[in-house]
Amino acid sequence: MEHTTKNKDSISHVRGTSIFVDDISEIRGTLQGLVFDSPVAHAHITSLDISDAERCTGVVKILTYNDIRGENQIGGIIQDEPLFAEKEIHFQGQAIALILAETLAEAKKAQKLIQLTYTELPVVTSVRQAHKNGRFTNASRTFRKNDAEKIFAKCDYVFEGQVFTNGQEHLYLETQGAYSVPLENGNIKIYSSTQGPTSVQKATAKVLGVPMHRLEVEVNRLGGGFGGKEDQATAWAAMAAVGTQITGRPVKLILDRHSDMRMTGKRHPYESDFKIGLDKNLKIKAYTATFYQNAGAAADLSPAVAERTLFHATNSYNIENVEVTVHSCKTNLPPNTAFRGFGGPQGMFVIEAAISKAAEALGVSAHKIQELNLLKDGDEFPYGQIASETLIQDTWNKAFTTFDIEKNIQQVADFNSKSKYFKKGYALMPITFGISFTNTPMNHARALVHIYQDGSVGISTGAVEMGQSVNTKMVLVATLTLGISPEKIKIETTNTTRVANTSPTAASATADLNGKAVEMACKILSNRLKTESARLLHLTDIKQISIKDNQVFVSEKLVEISWEELVLSAHLQRLSLTENAHYSTPEIHFDKSKEKGHPFAYHVYGTAFTVVSIDCIKGIYEIDSVKIVHDFGKSLSPALDFGQVEGALVQGIGWMTMEELLYNEKGRLLSNSLSGYKVPDIFSVPKIIEILPLETVGHKHAILKSKAVGEPPLMYGIGTYFALENAIKQFNPNYKHKFNSPLTPEKLLNALYDNHPNEF
């Protein structure tokens, strides 16, 4: 069954009537919050004088850690992150105080009068330095399969290398923000732009020193999240709530773009070392890698991100001997955090680099090595899960045949032999991405479904809508399960009083988890209504009853009972029209003491073929095409799923090309605005993006067999990096792989002329 469903919010989006946090009508008396943050990356605070600032017109209160009634602590996994700095500053942009004023203009004037004195401490921004100093945010981890070190000695070829992948700014178009409103009896309602309403509620309760039930967290939608609002939306919500707790007034806190970029963490930069061993048939026999993750000044989600790097360290390949280690290095950068792919992309880049290095040295095409080592059913991942329903080879083969890749490769070669100053390059990028939170206890969700007596339906889940169309998918699930039209279904805001103890909207798993819960609740309601139909029709068996198109059918024959009549009748029979269902992913488990288990409900597979062109005079490039065969399972909504692939791909390409995070040695972010940090615009995306769904039966743990799609396609973007390096080699035969991303025009031009055999 194929739907050409639209995003259910698309009408209000295009009309400008969708409401984001900053658009909520303010209650009279609302105070505006403005953060005062650290100008240096590492220091002892010697004094903080807010007295002049507090006397400014319009300023109601300036909050510091002294105003916190509970604990000054918002660390999620590890309790190492104060809301406001106390004695020490650990990164530039760390919050020190919150100015509350009648207007933002007044707050800005006061901000200039806050006086902070400090003694600076040595700043560490490099992971190697942090590693040397033994500074980590959390324990290092190692995944092991057999004995790689031993096998290297038996390999025909062994290659080693180093890799750098830079971080990435989320650049959700809507900056971070929250609006906190006092209710009676000290209760507070927080409107937050967060992927994790429960995280906000839990952390804020702790900061305020109140039980969780005193706080209601509501999320309408996000103007983009990409992981950046999984954990890092919490601080602003907590600060606003402290403001409300102290002043009794509503407090709005919206970060401007500069503050957002300066104060929040990003995708983790990684430095990595690899060693790869192959036999003469190009089978990868052994692989080791050490990942130095730049965690920043606090753990945040780094332990979980680090873990996923290990889970995806061998990408789509079966390797018999593996040892991969990750160190979460503590530096004086803002705490780095979740970003679409969640450490997976960093891990995959390194194995791709290792393969390219081997290919370069052996004079073969990287894709030959890739192809020879693809996973098959029955292969064991380094973390113990046995590959099943493996489709990587299928996507690879289909890409080769449908896109005629061999011919494309020949055309690239022909072009290069004729063109002097323009060159083309290509790369293949297979992906295998595991779906589930790798922290098994997080894989659950609930849905609360009300059928109102007029037949309209309201559904609450723990899923947060941030553009990925999860709410539209929830409507589809309910539509199909209840047999009614989508107009009858409303998806409510995500609110902790309706659905509690939720996992954040992350790990691509949200539609699966919440969708399954919606499906369960709707099934129960549907059965109850069928029973009611049976009563009305004097039938004993409900098996022959179905509900479709807002009508009751008996043995596929229409009977004269509409959905509305049936619902009203059930209501009058005093039947419950509300269900609350709970779903937790079956089968998954993982034992961290052994680093083995079966952590993923299933994997998503795909293969991308990328062709790029470079201008060897100016050192600029274009992406000619990215052609993808992707495993959607049985897509619930191809239009929406294709959008996820395109968006993720382009984000991945941005990460690999123009998005360059720059910190100086003092830990100051230099790429601190949209003019200094470039994300793809319409002219920089591939000229052609072709997406071909692999025809499959889907997976039983995927919602209605429609596989998760949010994160995996980001990693197709990695192909662009390797295609560019491939093109460089066509111009500069002396060029050796650098594995230093992003490959900006600067690096590209340098690569073209560095050590070039000819004079120019």
CB of 714 to ligand FES, least distance (A): 15
Choose the contact partner of 108 out of other proteins, ligand FES, none; CB within 5 to 8 A by kind.
other proteins
Q: Is 247 exposed, middle or buried (0-12, 13-18, 19+ CB in 10 A)?
A: middle
Residue 40 three-state SS: coil
Nearest of 11, 15, 13, 171 to residue 681 by alpha carbon:
171
What is d(CA 81, CA 300) in angstroms, rounded to the nearest whole number?
A: 8
Among 11, 27, 364, 572, which residue interacts with other proteins (rule: CB under 8 A)?
Answer: 11
Q: What amino acid is encoded at 582 in this protein?
A: H
- Least distance in Å: CB of 210 to ligand FES? 35
Minimum Å gap between C-beta 202 and other proteins is 25
Q: Of the candidates 120, 674, 695, 755, which one interacts with other proteins according to CB under 8 A?
A: 674
Sheet of strand 115-120: strand arrangement: 88-89, 43-49, 115-120
Of the pair 127, 171, the CB lying nearest ligand FES is at: 171
Q: Does 467 bind ligand FES (CB under 6 A)?
A: yes
Q: Which candidate, 586, 313, 591, places its Cα nearest to that of 432?
A: 313
Site string for other proteins, 395-434 (x = CB under 8 A): --------------------------x-------------
20 contributes a contact to other proteins by CB under 8 A: yes
**Residues in contact with ligand FES, shown as a per-residue x/- string from 224 to 243 under the rule CB under 6 A:** x-------------------
| Both structure tokens of 607 | 């293969």
Q: Rounded to the nearest 10 degrees, how much is the dihedral formed by the CA atoms of 490, 491, 494, 496?
A: 60
Closest approach, Cβ 655 to ligand FES, in A, equals 16
- Measured distance CA(560)–CA(444) in Å, rounded: 39
- Please state the φ and ψ torsions of residue 716, each to the nearest 5 degrees: -60, -30
Q: How many residues contact other proteins, by CB under 8 A?
A: 76
Nearer to other proteins by Cβ, of 82 and 228: the residue is 228
C-beta of 224 vs 462, nearer to other proteins: 224
Site for ligand FES in 121-180 (CB under 6 A): 173
Look up residue 47 and give its amino acid: S
Q: Which two tokens stand for residue 156?
A: 């025909």
Q: Is 711 part of the annotated catalytic residue set?
A: yes
E strand intervals along 538-658: 545-548, 551-554, 557-562, 578-584, 589-591, 596-598, 602-615, 620-630
In the bound state with ligand FES, the residue whose beta carbon lies nearer, of 10 and 755, is 10
Conformational region of residue 303, where left means phi above 0, alpha means psi within -120 to 50, and beta covers everything else: alpha
Please answer whether residues 148 and 68 qualify as being in contact, where contact means their C-beta atoms are separated by less than 8 angstroms: no
Chain-centroid distance, C-alpha 140? 22
Binding at 673: pick from other proteins, ligand FES, none (beta carbon under 5-8 Å per type)? other proteins
Task: Find the part of the chain contacting other proteins (CB under 8 A) among 134-142, 288-296, 509-517, 657-665.
Answer: 657-665
Instruction: Please list every residue from 239 through 268 that binds other proteins, using CB under 8 A.
Output: 256-257
Calpha distance 682→687 (Å, rounded): 10
Binding residues for ligand FES restricted to 206-225, rule: CB under 6 A: 224
Asked if 500 interacts with other proteins (CB under 8 A), we say: no
Positions in 189-228 near other proteins (CB under 8 A): 221-224, 226
How many residues contact ligand FES, by CB under 6 A?
A: 3
Of residues 682 through 711, those in contact with other proteins by CB under 8 A are 682-685, 689
- CB nearer other proteins, residue 642 or residue 735: 642
Which candidate in 169, 360, 532, 711 is catalytic? 711
Q: Which long-range contacts (CB under 8 A, 24 or more apart) does 365-370 make?
A: 365/409, 366/427, 366/428, 366/722, 367/427, 367/428, 368/282, 369/278, 369/282, 369/284, 370/316, 370/317, 370/428, 370/430
Residue 510 interacts, among other proteins, ligand FES, none and using kind-specific CB cut-offs from 5 to 8 Å, with none
Q: Work out whether 386 is an interface residue with other proteins (CB under 8 A).
A: no
CB atoms within 10 A of CB 177: 26
Q: Which of residues 33-72 bind other proteins (CB under 8 A)?
A: none
Give the nearer residue to ligand FES in terms of CB position, either 177 or 224: 224
Residue 260 or 532: the one with the smaller Cβ distance to other proteins is 260
Interacting partner of 554 out of other proteins, ligand FES, none (Cβ under 5 to 8 A depending on kind): none
Give Cβ neighbours of residue 185 (< 8 Å, ≥ 6 apart): none
Nearest-approach distance from CB 74 to other proteins, in angstroms: 25
Any idea what DSSP says for residue 467? S
Nearest to 21 by CA among 232, 239, 219: 219
Q: Does 650 bind other proteins (CB under 8 A)?
A: yes
Q: Pick from other proteins, ligand FES, none: which does 671 bind, CB < 5 to 8 A by kind?
A: other proteins
- Contact call for residue 275 and other proteins (CB under 8 A): no
693's tokens: 């769904």
Among 467, 504, 515, 693, the residue binding other proteins under the rule CB under 8 A is: 467
Q: How far is the CB of 138 from ligand FES (least distance, A)?
A: 32
Kindly list the catalytic residues.
Answer: 711
Residues in contact with ligand FES by CB under 6 A are 173, 224, 467
